[in-house]
Amino acid sequence: MWRPALSLCLTIVLCGGAAFAAPPVATPAPTAAVSPSPEPADPVDLLPPADLERALDFIRKNYVAPAAVDEVAVHRATLAGLLDRLGLGLNLAPAASPNESPAPFYHEIIEEHIGYLRPSGLRKSDLSELDNALNDFAAKKVDALVLDLRAAGQAFDFAAAAEFAKRFVPQGEELFTMHGPDPAKNRTFTSDRSPAYSGFLSVLIDEETVGAAEALASVLRARDKAILIGQSTGGGAVAYADLPLSNGLVLHVASMEAILPEQTASFPHRVQPEIPVAQSLAAKREIFTQSLTKGMGPFIFEEDRPHLNEAALLAGTNPEIEAIQDRQERRARGEKAPLHDAVMQRAVDVITSIGVYTKQPRPTP
């Protein structure tokens, strides 16, 4: 229902929500396209397998410190090289502490009609809270929803992500497939229930949106249900096979990737937002922590700036200049600027702009 309004509103909200058309800009003269220079290939990648074997054998026989190139050293170098080359496809990390308690599933209603959902991960244990929140939103006539996946973190429960998606995707539609080198282990997830919500949906993402959360964001956009706002995701929509090692370390190997019905592969591609908005990760984390007691409102809506008015003119003052001076003095004292969630504000701008547009009377044919 909201898609016809979206193309008109995007121009508005990309400029910060101002509902005014930009003045015409002169089109610059075309310039010749410059082809980017290809990155030089790694010399090692150019060697055929036979040369690799000869090179390693030559090193073992001739290197001045034989212990540095013995079998164990070569295995260490191989693993280190793969960790460097494969990025999110392979990592070696300490085992998760069983005492770590996840952040709570957070939700609230903003401006009396916008539902806000922020899972700290995509866990099946959060589904009951999700359902309760959606039921509460429906009872209170919420007409727009923001799903904030910026706190989902390293979420790799793709079955749980599919369950989250089913709350928004019509029954019978294919969600995604988990695909790996063993076809017998491939699994396709399909929505088997009626959605709990089918209205306008904004999904917030950033580089800390990794794994199952990336698959969820992609599914919701692909099903024409959501607009993505924020920054590109981490590019790790994969499930891992884990190998516990000594010293409390675990080797995580990407063994399956999430693929949407119209895709052939997704890893290691990042999910890109339709509306890019920069946000400091440190500020975001602090906002999320404080919002548990303050709510999100104080971090979305900026204080009204004072304006010059008749009373100020009669008093010989200028509130605008005084406000600027006050901010400069606070910066000079080392005071931090108020926390502000620019990504969430843009989501509210989108919702507001589309709401204004859809309420406009339509011309009669």
Mean per-residue pLDDT, 331-359: 82
- Return the pLDDT at 282: 94
**Confidence band for 17, pLDDT divided at 50, 70 and 90:** very low
Distance of CA 28 to the CA centre of its chain: 35
CATH superfamily for 1-13+77-303+334-365 is: 2-enoyl-CoA Hydratase; Chain A, domain 1 (3.90.226.10)
> What average pLDDT does the structure give for the chain?
83
Mean per-residue pLDDT, 330-348: 83
Assess whether pLDDT exceeds 60 at residue 184.
yes
* Token pair listed for 88: 């999110």
What stretch of H or E contains 12?
helix 3-13
Assess whether pLDDT exceeds 90 at residue 227.
yes
Amino acid at site 289? T
| Dist CA 121 CA 161 (whole Å) | 9
Kindly report the number of other CB atoms within 10 A of residue 3's CB atom.
11
- Return the pLDDT at 14: 45
**Confidence band for 172, pLDDT divided at 50, 70 and 90:** very high
- Return the pLDDT at 65: 94
Strands 187-190 and 200-205 turn out to be: unpaired
Specify the residue for token string 């693993």.
79
- Return the pLDDT at 20: 33
* Token pair listed for 179: 């695909």
